[in-house]
Amino acid sequence: MGAKAKKSLKKKMSKISSSPSTQLVNGKQAAADFLPLEGGPARKLPELKELKNKSGVLYIGRIPHGFYEDEMKAYFSQFGTIKRLRIARNKKTGKSKHFGFMEFDDSEVAEVVAECMHNYLLFEHLLQVHVIPQEHVHPKLWKGFNYRYNPLNRLQTERKLHNKERTLDEHRRLVVRIMKQDQKRRKKIEAAGLDYECPEFVGDVKSVPKKIKFSQD
């Protein structure tokens, strides 16, 4: 390295060392975040604002009977546009579990709804409305939210089970179970001291054939 190069390097280093590490911000002295390599005034990074909760999801608890999807959507639409709505229901019966979730397009609208509708008396129920933070919203919360469960006809299924064709073993077990229940009923009546003649059971386990013999032609 030549003499001229050494002198220029010393000048640059002296500029960097002599440059102020602080600068005035609104008339006050603030520390610089970093210094440029080529020297010059110090630079201050822009201040990052704290990110607010951008979640527009609400938890609604203590939902009264009869206040379902259509009614809730019609009522809460006065605050703003509802993006999604889901009421927790029983998988077998399809009945409401009296709590659900609602999402608005605007998070500020959700906060207003939570402030206005929390502990609101509706059909003798105090609604519990809270904003769910974004980090607490489960990714599978809205899975199948627009699915309407069609409950099964339990009477029809029980009728089919009762009237189904049974094998000989199934019929024999059915007769044994009925006879055991009949004996328990007789003992309870005798223990109660009641003078009652129970009807005789027509079926018998011995009357059920163990095997079916087919005629050979």
Q: What is the pLDDT of residue 24?
A: 46
In 3-state terms, what secondary structure has residue 9? helix
Question: Phi/psi zone of residue 94: left (φ > 0), alpha (ψ -120 to 50 degrees), beta?
Answer: left
For range 137-165, the mean pLDDT: 81
* Alpha carbon of residue 7 to chain centroid: 71
Domains contained in the chain, number: 2
Dump pLDDT digits (tens) for 182-215: 899 889 998 998 888 878 766 555 555 554 444 4
| Residue 63, domain member (yes or no) | yes
Q: What share of the chain is helix, strand, coil (3-state, %, to 5)?
A: 35, 20, 50
Give domain status of residue 204, yes or no: no
Q: Is residue 180 part of a domain?
A: yes
Highest mean pLDDT among 12-21, 41-50, 99-108, 207-216: 99-108
Query: Cα separations (Å) of 79 from 21, 24, 75, 115, 117?
Result: 52, 46, 9, 12, 11
**Residue 61's CATH number:** 3.30.70.330
Does 198 fall in a domain? no
Is 16 part of a structural domain of the chain?
A: no
Flag whether 187 is in a domain: yes
Task: Identify the domain containing residue 103 by its residue range.
Answer: 57-136
Which pLDDT tens digit goes with each residue over 53-79?
577 999 999 999 999 999 999 999 999
Q: Greater confidence, 44 or 158?
A: 158
- Distance, in Å, from the CA atom of 111 to the CA atom of 215, rounded to the nearest integer, reads 81
Does residue 155 carry a pLDDT above 50?
yes
> What percent of the chain is predicted at pLDDT more than 70?
68
The CA distance from 118 to 59, in Å, is 10
Q: What percent of the chain has pLDDT over 90?
A: 35
pLDDT tens sequence across 103-117: 999 999 999 999 999
